[in-house]
């Protein structure tokens, strides 16, 4: 595990690329089998590929989404409400994974 440095996070793709990939992958895996896999893949590839993780300070992360995420999903048959709920859960799980990977939160703490 690479020690977290908020200043290095400004250049996150140089210093923390592997950790970022792991956080996104762990979030995806935690949802796989519980959510529609076609919808998860669409969100992962068409929305989250263009997202930007940001360190807010005090151990908190935020995932900034691209403009109009709903319009990015090519399958127009996706129910907007289901899409929004799944995207929100996905983002929450990415942020949780970032806190865990950078040791701001343990798995036990997040289950409380």
- CA dist 85 and 71 (Å) reads 15
Please report whether residue 66 resides in a domain. yes
pLDDT value at 106 more than 80: no
Please report whether residue 43 resides in a domain. yes
What phi-psi label fits residue 37: left (phi over 0), alpha (psi between -120 and 50 degrees) or beta?
Answer: alpha
- Assign 112 a pLDDT band (cuts: 50, 70, 90): very low
Please report whether residue 111 resides in a domain. no
- Average pLDDT of every residue of the chain: 89
Find the farthest-apart pair of alpha carbons in the chain and give their distance in angstroms, rounded: 43
Report the C-alpha dihedral over residues 94, 97, 103, 104, rounded to 10 degrees: 50
Mean pLDDT of 77-93: 89
Domains held by the chain: number: 1
Range of the domain at 94: 6-105
- Assign 23 a pLDDT band (cuts: 50, 70, 90): very high
pTM score, whole prediction: 0.89
Please report whether residue 30 resides in a domain. yes
């Amino acid at each position: 595990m690479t020690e977290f440095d908020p200043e290095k996070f400004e250049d996150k793709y140089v210093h923390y690329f592997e950790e970022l990939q792991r956080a996104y992958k762990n979030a995806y895996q935690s949802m796989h089998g519980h959510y529609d896999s076609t919808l998860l893949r669409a969100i992962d590839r068409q929305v989250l590929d263009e997202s930007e993780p940001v360190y807010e300070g005090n151990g908190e992360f935020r995932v900034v989404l691209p403009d109009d995420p709903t319009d990015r999903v090519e399958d127009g048959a996706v129910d907007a409400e289901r899409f929004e709920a799944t995207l929100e859960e996905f983002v929450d799980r990415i942020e949780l994974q970032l806190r865990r990977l950078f040791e701001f939160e343990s798995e036990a703490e997040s289950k409380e």
